[in-house]
Amino acid sequence: MARILMTGASGGIGTSLRKLLRPIYPDLVLSDLRPPADLGKHETFKAADLADIAQVEAICEGVDGILHFGGYSVEGPWDSILQSNIIGGYNLFEAARKQGVKRVIFASSNHAVGFYPRHHRIGTDVTARPDSRYGVSKVFGEAVGALYADKHGLKVTCIRIGNFGEVPLDHRRLSIWLKPEDLVQLCRIGLEHPDIHFEIVYGASWNERSWWDNHRAFDLGYRPTGRAEDFREHAMAEQAKLPPDTVGDFYQGGAFCGMEFDGDASRVWKPG
């Protein structure tokens, strides 16, 4: 079996995925700044700071594929984003090249294109419209992934993750929900599909309200099992508890778009 490294193993996605991936990839190496609180005695963990290239090279040694979920996972101060996601992301790809890693799955985000209006259906080939410093870092990661695929032959898959979880939590998430098992399926495509060179796909389940054309993922064999509409009543009940957000409710990126917004408010459609 291939040896797979997963960064961000102590985060929310990493915690869920490592339990689902263990039966598929028994030789799974986990990494983060700190070990998961529930680390099992049969699990392999190697601590690393992504901003330190030597530490990243060490965890990449002897690895065949990388699931890169590490980094700063929400909007935050520039220096935090810079160290964890910009420098850390570059270090991950460079260490993979130096250590002869064959494949990298990069956890991108819907926030790389969050400033597209919700009424605008988009594919993966649109111009980046990040909604935050966090979104900018994901655009950077996709660009570095393309560079290392084209220049160094690394096989790279970028997954623009929507909202990962057991159920969609509100109205917006009915359009972008990603069931954990469906993310596993996308990771397996990135690690195993023979035709991968450089790909961008959306990390979304079967969402009938989706704003995204994800045909490339389906071309590669993706068949999501989660259906957001099965949780419609729950999501809409939770939505009713939330205050309106003039900016966030218009754009795909939601609240990330409204944070610190002092742009042209006339561009935001207002009902009535």
Residue 207 has pLDDT above 80, yes or no: yes
pLDDT tens figures, 162-195: 999 999 999 999 999 999 999 999 999 999 999 9
Cα distances from 63 to residues 4, 8, 57, 74, 187, in angstroms, run 6, 16, 10, 28, 16
Catalytic residue among 25, 134, 148, 202: 134
pLDDT tens figures, 119-158: 999 999 999 999 999 999 999 999 999 999 999 999 999 9
- Predicted local distance difference test score (pLDDT) of residue 272: 46
- Predicted local distance difference test score (pLDDT) of residue 271: 57
| pTM of the shown model | 0.96
What is the distance between the alpha carbons of residues 113 and 163, in angstroms, rounded to a whole number?
Answer: 14
122, 116 contact by CB (below 8 A): yes
Mean pLDDT within 97-106: 98
pLDDT tens figures, 41-97: 889 999 999 999 999 999 999 999 999 999 999 999 999 999 999 999 999 999 999
The sign one gets for the Cα dihedral 140, 173, 7, 75 is positive
What is the distance between the alpha carbons of residues 81 and 199, in angstroms, rounded to a whole number?
Answer: 24
Q: In the 8-state DSSP scheme, what is residue 205?
A: -
Phi, psi (rounded to 5 degrees) for 222 = -65, 130
Please confirm, yes or no, whether 134 is among the known catalytic residues: yes
What is the three-class DSSP state of 167? coil
212, 114 contact by CB (below 8 A): no
pLDDT tens figures, 222-264: 999 999 999 999 999 999 999 999 999 999 999 999 999 999 8
CATH no., domain 4-267: 3.40.50.720
Pairing of β 65-68 and β 103-109:
parallel
